[in-house]
């Protein structure tokens, strides 16, 4: 009986986690949120992503993740990914993540993540539209932070990860996290079926709603 109840709770948590992206009003919310996240990461230079890391980045994945539970936990999140092209930053493609866990934890925590794609291979992994597991498909490392890291910011891995949770900025490990393309969100946002590769290679122009995001990133 207890096992059945635990299984049921886990199933509910997992369902909540993987459908979190769908509860966001629209992909435009994720685009607008991505702008705010980048701006917040820039507010404290001593603890921010080094500008050199951003200038050398081949792409960025920007997510908001919610984690909730008591002993058993569910987490889910949504966001966007953009890539650097010959003509500047690409239009955004919708991504999402979800999962379940076990541990002595209670309450709700909202965290913001910036994932730096340091190599063309990292961008290509996301361009295929399949699930990407950080640390498995691509090498991942906690990203350097602050001005002191600027001089030695040469990439050590295909992906750097950063987070902001409850006002605290830090490099953070997301190894094992699975990130998936949100095809329906892309289709609704661009008002037609689209390929992720076409978005990230610049074949599809950024829509008006993504103008602010492109502007914020254009300094890098």
Q: What is the pLDDT of residues 26-82, one digit of tens each?
A: 899 999 999 999 999 888 777 788 889 999 999 999 999 887 655 555 567 899 999
Q: What is the pTM of this model?
A: 0.79
- Boundaries of every domain in the chain: 2-217
Read off the tokens for 144.
């350097």
Cβ atoms 179, 49 nearer than 8 A = no
Cβ atoms 134, 174 nearer than 8 A = yes
**Which tens digits make up the pLDDT trace of 74-111?**
567 899 999 999 999 999 999 998 765 544 455 567 88
């Amino acid at each position: 009986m207890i096992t059945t109840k635990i299984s049921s709770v886990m199933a509910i948590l997992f369902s909540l986690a993987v459908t979190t992206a769908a509860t966001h009003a629209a992909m435009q919310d994720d685009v607008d949120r991505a702008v705010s996240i980048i701006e917040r990461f820039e507010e404290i230079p001593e603890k921010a992503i080094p500008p050199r890391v951003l200038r050398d980045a081949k792409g960025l994945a920007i997510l908001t993740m919610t984690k909730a539970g008591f002993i058993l936990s569910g987490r889910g999140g949504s966001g966007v990914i953009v890539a650097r092209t010959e003509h500047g930053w690409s239009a955004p493609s919708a991504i999402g993540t979800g999962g379940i866990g076990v541990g002595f934890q209670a309450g709700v925590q909202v965290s913001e993540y910036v994932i730096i794609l340091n190599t063309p291979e990292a961008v290509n992994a996301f361009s295929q539209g399949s699930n990407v597991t950080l640390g498995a498909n691509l090498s991942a490392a906690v990203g350097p932070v602050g001005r002191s890291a600027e001089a030695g910011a040469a990439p050590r891995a295909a992906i750097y990860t950063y987070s902001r949770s409850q006002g605290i900025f830090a490099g953070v490990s997301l190894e094992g996290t699975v990130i998936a393309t949100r095809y329906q969100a892309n289709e609704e946002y661009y008002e037609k079926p689209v390929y992720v590769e076409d978005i990230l290679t610049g074949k599809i122009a950024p829509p008006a709603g993504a103008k602010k995001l492109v502007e914020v990133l254009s300094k890098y």
